[in-house]
Amino acid sequence: MFGKKKKKTEKIEYDRSEWQPVLKCSICNGEQVGGLRNKSTGEFREIMFVRGQDDLERFREIMDERDIAKIY
Arithmetic mean of pLDDT over the chain: 90
**How many domains is the chain partitioned into structurally?**
1
Say if 10 falls within a structural domain.
no
> What's phi and psi for 53, nearest 5 deg?
-65, -35
Average pLDDT rounded to a whole number, residues 22-48: 96
Yes or no: say if 30 and 50 are a contact pair by the CB < 8 Å rule.
no
5, pLDDT greater than 60: no
Q: What is the identity of the amino acid at 16?
A: R
Say if 54 falls within a structural domain.
yes
- Range of the structural domain that residue 27 is part of: 19-71
Which pLDDT belongs to residue 1?
A: 52
